[in-house]
Structures are given as C-alpha cells and as structure tokens.
Structure 1
Amino acid sequence: MTSLAKTSRFLRVPSALCLPSRRNFHNYFVSHLPSASLFPDSRSTAGPSAPNRDLTVVRIPLRSAKHHFGVAVSRGQRIQNEDTNQAGTITMPAFAKRPPISLVRGQDAAAAAKAAGIGTTAASALGDPQVFYFAVFDGHGGTECSDFLRDELHGYIEQAAADLQLQSSLQKKDDPKKLPSSLQDPSTLSSPTILPQHDHEVPPSESSTPRPLRLQSDLLQEYRRTIGGYWRRFRPSCFTIPPIPSSRDPNPPPPLTSQGPITLETVLTYAFLRADLDFVTAQARDTRVLLCETKTGLAVPLTADHRPSSPTESRRLRRYLSDSLVTDSFGEERLHGLANSRSFGDMGSKRIGVSAEPDIVRVDLHPAQYSFMVLCSDGVSGTLSDQEIVDIVKEAGTPEEGARSVVEYATEVSSDGDNATCLVVRLGGWERRCEGGLGSMGTKEVREMRRVEAEDPRRRGR
C-alpha cells in the first residue's frame, strides 16, 4: 500500500502543541526463517525437507534491506531540504483480493514448504499478511507540514481503520479469528498528538446512527465550521453519511441507521482529511508514483498532477465553485491563482477548494508483473520523464542504488535545483527488470545528451 501527499503554505505550529508522537511506527518487517539456518545443529538427523523444523521469527529493519528497498535524498540548490519520506509496516486489516502465495516452485516442494511453514508470509497482529507503507512528502515553504505527515500520517490511517471498523478482505464471515482487543476498542490506540482531541456528546437523535457514519459526518461538519467556503457543500464520493441538515428545513431528514461495507478508499480518505484538518487548525507541486511493467519495460504512472485544468479536478471544482477557475496568460487554468488543487495544510486555500482528499488508485500486482515501484518528489518528476526515472533504476543493482542514481541524475540536470527525493521498492519481477522492451536503453541517448548539456554553461537553461 502506498500513500502520497503534498504540502503547501502553512502557519507555524505553536511549540506548546508540538508534543512528541506516542505512536510506535514499525520501520521493520517480520519474516519466518528456519531455525536451522540461523543456528545449525550438527547433531540433528532430520533431513533438509523435514516438515517439523522449528521456525524463528525475525525482524528485519526495512531501511537495512538494501535488496528490497532504497531511498536517496538531495536538497539540490535549495537552502534546506523540505522533502521527507517514510517506510515501514502498519497495523490494519488486509485489503487484497487473495492471500500471498509461496514462492516455492513445484507442487511437491510447495506442499513440503507449507507443512514446514517455509516460504509463507509472516502474519500481522490481525492474522493478515503485513501491510507495507511507503510515502514521500514534498514540503513547500517549510518542513513543519511534511515532518508532521512523516511522523503522524501512518498513525491516522491505523486509527481510521480501527474507528471505521474496516474488515479484513481475507477472512471469511464465519472465521473464528477476531481482532485483538487493542484494535477492537479504538480508545486504546494513541491518538495523533498535534492537537487535543475534541469529544462531542452524541445527541439522542443520533444514537441509532452507526459510529463510522457519525465520524464521517462529524469530520465534514468540522470542516464546514472551521474552514467554510468550498467545504460547506463538500461530500466525498466514498463516504456514506446522513444527509446534510439545513437550518431552513423545519423537518430535517432522519439520521441513517445502517451502513454499507467500509472500504479502503473510505479509510484513506478519512485519514487524509482528518490529518489535514488537525494540522490546519493548529497551525506545490506534486509527488509521483510509478510502476515498471516487467514485460514491456514501460513506466506505468499511478498518479496524476492535481492541476485545476485536469478533467477530474475541473469537474470537482466546477461542481462547487464554478466562478473560481480563471485562465492565466499561458492558457492554464488556475484556482484563484493556484496551480495545484490538492495539498495538506494552507488554511486559506482550503476555503477556495484546495483539498487533502486522496486520489486513490487500486492496482492488483500479479506475480512478476511489475519489476519495481518508484515514489518521488517534484524535484525528480519535475525534471525527468517517467520513462527516464524507470530506465535509470533498471541499471541499478539494488533499489538503494537505483534511488541514489535517480536523485544524482535529477540534481545534475535540474535547472532550478529543487529538493529531490526518490524511493524505490523491489517487486516480484525485479530480476527481470531489463528484459522488457529496450531495457534501460530506451532513454539512454536522451539522458547522455541532457548530461552533456548540463555540463555546458552556454547551453544550460535553453
């Protein structure tokens, strides 16, 4: 699972409210290894395929797993680096269509491995496979917001999954497994510490409304009271909430008494909006996510720049603020002068329609279908094409080397010296990353030409 965010202008958070986070983010993943591979016992007479070998659970620091994950950072020519990133595992129910399968080939070998517990994915506290969390945050005008998201956003997602009662997609309805008591009671999870939590008494008329629906409705009401403007009429498409009451209506609609299934989209949207509202109350450009398709070697973008002129954003904004979009002298639509329409922070822009609502894309990752995933800030995506980024990573021996090469090249050919962050995640087709299409040669000539131009002061910037 991936999560991206952008930051924009903001007010400095009062120091009295900047409490240290109490969340214990897991920056490691868990794996099962045969005990014999860690502590060989020469006295053992059991064969290598014996199905009763004990397993040892090991914690592997993700940032030390160079063959699975890599990240590189450069401040470019800026005074400071405002980009941040995060990587680890989070505690939440699974949302995959099917459980992960063993990588052992052959039916006999797979059966033996299953009996021995070898090659299976270590389960989380929920009884589900681990959920990996990777994020890049592009700060703009300071580091407070990007640092806040790095330290807290994963906690908001975990909290939202518990509060909204997200159910595992891999456990059957009659599965006797239940969530741990610490997750059944959301009050036992530490809440984000940027602001004190507001406790609201539930009116008697809302006592029949399910708690997840009340939380969604209360969040939007807080946006209306705190920010207003665009948010007075805003309703996320993935929310199932009671109708908005009107002060002019003498007979307000009754509250909802039932709800549909809570989806991953609902949880992520709620978490992003909740984090944004908390930060704005206390008080850009886009990041990019790419996949490399193993078969073709092509870059597959998962995100799109949130420009007011894009079809999705234009429809969203014109639905509520038809008179707020203007066209500048270059023919580009802007929202009250802003080129971006989604970000965290910036209370003033929230009033006119800038939103922290996530743009969610689901991708089913089949075995070896994709070689790797790249997350990068605009210091990379604003300088290099998607295919250039992917081709540079193909030439690297490890994800860390690939991330470092992307940042070094982007910094070398950049014309504005923006902060640059690149995060590379190894996927099933990593070993075959150069087999598809032209491999890394597709953009090699272009990259070499750009490097030569960057070294020539007479041609740079043309």
Structure 2
Amino acid sequence: MVLNFDVGFSEDENLKWRKSMEDTHVIQVPFMGDESAGFFAVYDGHGGKEAADIASAELHKFLEKELAPGKNGSVKASFMSAYEQMDDRLKFDALYMGATAVTCLIREEANGTRKLYAANAGDARAVLCRDGKAVRLTKDHKASDQEEQDRVTASGGWVSMNRVHGVLAVSRALGDHAMKQSVISEPHFWEDDLTDGDTFVIIACDGLWDVCSDQESVDLVKDEPDAQAMSQKLIQTALDNGGKDNISVMVVRWS
C-alpha cells in the first residue's frame, strides 16, 4: 500500500528578515523514486545562512547514496555517514558558521512495515503524535546539558555561560569547523515501526520548542483538518507565547 503524505510548512512572517538569514527546509516526496517514501528536514543556521543552504541542498543526496541498493548497511549507519559526509563537505565553507539539523525518513519497507527514522544534531526537534501522546524522536544537543558538557570537556574544550567556548549554545551541529573538536556532527538517531496510533510528526527549529512543550504542541493541532493548518497554528501559538527567535515548523501526516 502506497503511503500518502500531507505536508505543511510555515515560517514566522513577522521575523522573516531574520529567518531569511538562518533557516532552510527540505521536502522530498517521492524519495529515491519511491512513492511510499518521504524525506523531511529543517536546518537552522547560525553565524550566517550558507551552512544551512548547503546542507538543505546536499545532505539528502548523501543519504540517498548510502541507502542505495548494494550498500548493505543499516539505515542508522546510512544516516551517520550522511551527516559525517555533509559535515566534511562544509569543512572549507563553514569555518565560523554552522547549522543544526533535524531529518526524518518515512517509508514502507520491503516486508510491508511502515517505518519512521529520525536523526538530529543540535536543538532542532522532531515530535511524533502516538495515540495522542507526544513522543520526542530527537535529543536537544545544548551546551547547558550536563552530558554534553562532559563530552565537550573530555574533548579538550570548555563551556562557559552554557555556551561552548563561551560562544555557541548548541554542542552539536553541521559546520562550525573552528570548534569541530568540541562541536561534533554525530547525530542522535531514532527508529520504529509506525502503528495505527501514529498520526503525524512535528519537525521544527528551536524557535517553536523554546516556548511550546512537546505535548502542548501535539494537543494544539491534533484536531486540525490538514497539515498546513497545523503548521500555521503552531507558528501563531509560538508568537503568542512570546517567541522571539526565528520559527520554522513542518508537519507531516500520512495515510
């Protein structure tokens, strides 16, 4: 059975001057020529937009090569390699800039199961609605996180005022090669079969999550008629809740 996708994307028009410098997004349906597959991503740049622009144009292409027939690697290994290759590609283009990334792949496998895969580096986040409950698929890689602080310190770096080297609030990202020893690109990875209770996923940069909790976001939009209305409602709620950062929100539904 072919997966049918309903995808909505919205951005904060009131801060569009700022968003235009930072965020990009990708919607690839079909993915790799497969009508039952979709790739969805949001990239949030810092220090400039170039790293986010390059990532949005190329990361899914690296993933396609890793997932190609004959590779025989796991999907997790494919995501890990794609992020590593993307980061390496930015070595000469993103010395003092970078981008957080949240990427999702939804597809029907050869055995007929429907799978959702998610990976992220940084504080952009993906949240699944499962039986009405919010399930976080990603990990916020922030310098304020104790586990990430310990990793940065072990690498020879340091954290001050909850910023890596006193500069960067995220502890993982694509790019930022001037701090690559501490700011790594290795993503968090999640995968699971989709069940009848899984209805949509919210993919957004930290501008939403700074002011809306996972469950609040799911509750706000689960009764909306389509994905575009859902994404627009989340943008407006983030603004109503005092959001000041750039806000980009994607909602993906399937049937």
Q: Shorter-chain-normalised TM-score: which range?
A: 0.7 to 0.9
Partners of 1:313 and 1:355 lie apart in 2 by 10
Given that 2:143 and 2:159 are in contact with CA atoms closer than 8 Å, whether structure 1 keeps it comes out as: no
Given that 2:2 and 2:36 are in contact with CA atoms closer than 8 Å, whether structure 1 keeps it comes out as: no
- Identity of counterpart residues, as a percentage? 30
Equivalent residue in structure 1 for 2:23, among 70, 83, 96: 83
1:72-117 alpha-carbon deviations (Å, 9 max, x no partner): 11154363312111112322xxxxxxxxxxxxxxxxxxxxxxxxxx
Partners of 1:266 and 1:305 lie apart in 2 by 20
Residue in 1 that maps onto 2:186: 357
Equivalent residue in structure 2 for 1:310, among 107, 127, 145: 145
Residue in 1 that maps onto 2:71: 166
* Residues 403 and 342 (structure 1), Cα distance of their counterparts in 2 relative to 1, 3 Å cut: same
Given that 1:166 and 1:264 are in contact with CA atoms closer than 8 Å, whether structure 2 keeps it comes out as: no
Partners of 2:13 and 2:206 lie apart in 1 by 12
Partners of 1:70 and 1:424 lie apart in 2 by 5
**RCO (CA 8 Å, sep 6+): is it higher in 1 or 2?**
2
Equivalent residue in structure 2 for 1:301, among 136, 144, 147: 136
Matched, 1:408 2:245: no
Which consecutive residues of structure 1, in runs of 5 or more, have no partner in the other structure? 1-29, 33-61, 92-122, 168-261, 429-462
1:363-419 alpha-carbon deviations (Å, 9 max, x no partner): 2212x1212111011111112111221112113111111011111221233242x21
Residue in 1 that maps onto 2:115: none
Partners of 1:315 and 1:161 lie apart in 2 by 33
| Deviation of 1:427 (Å) | 3.8
1:128-178 alpha-carbon deviations (Å, 9 max, x no partner): x73310111112232211121222111111123349x433xxxxxxxxxxx
Equivalent residue in structure 1 for 2:84, among 273, 277, 286: 273
Counterparts of 1:185-200 in structure 2, within 5 Å, are none
Q: Secondary structure at the match of 2:201?
A: strand
| Deviation of 1:314 (Å) | 4.6
Partners of 1:326 and 1:77 lie apart in 2 by 30
RMSD (CA atoms): 2.7
1:18-37 alpha-carbon deviations (Å, 9 max, x no partner): xxxxxxxxxxxx969xxxxx
Matched, 1:286 2:226: no
Partners of 1:160 and 1:308 lie apart in 2 by 30
* Residues 78 and 402 (structure 1), Cα distance of their counterparts in 2 relative to 1, 3 Å cut: closer
Partners of 1:423 and 1:290 lie apart in 2 by 11
Partners of 2:14 and 2:178 lie apart in 1 by 29
Counterparts of 1:317-396 in structure 2, within 5 Å, are 317-318=152-153, 320-321=154-155, 323-326=156-159, 328=161, 332=162, 334-337=163-166, 338-350=168-180, 352-366=181-195, 368-396=196-224
Given that 2:23 and 2:49 are in contact with CA atoms closer than 8 Å, whether structure 1 keeps it comes out as: yes
Higher strand content, 1 or 2: 2
| Deviation of 1:308 (Å) | 3.8
Q: Secondary structure at the match of 2:92?
A: helix
Counterparts of 1:114-129 in structure 2, within 5 Å, are 124=34
* Residues 312 and 160 (structure 1), Cα distance of their counterparts in 2 relative to 1, 3 Å cut: farther
Partners of 2:188 and 2:176 lie apart in 1 by 19
Which consecutive residues of structure 2, in runs of 5 or more, have no partner in the other structure? 95-99, 101-121
Q: Number of paired residues?
A: 225
Given that 1:308 and 1:325 are in contact with CA atoms closer than 8 Å, whether structure 2 keeps it comes out as: no
**How high is the TM-score relative to the length of structure 1?**
0.45
Structure of higher CA gyration radius? 1
Q: Secondary structure at the match of 1:286?
A: coil
Given that 1:373 and 1:424 are in contact with CA atoms closer than 8 Å, whether structure 2 keeps it comes out as: yes
Residue in 2 that maps onto 1:153: 59
| Deviation of 1:277 (Å) | 1.2
1:403-450 alpha-carbon deviations (Å, 9 max, x no partner): 11111221233242x21111111145xxxxxxxxxxxxxxxxxxxxxx
Given that 1:308 and 1:314 are in contact with CA atoms closer than 8 Å, whether structure 2 keeps it comes out as: yes
Q: Secondary structure at the match of 2:17?
A: coil
Partners of 1:311 and 1:161 lie apart in 2 by 34
Partners of 1:361 and 1:315 lie apart in 2 by 23
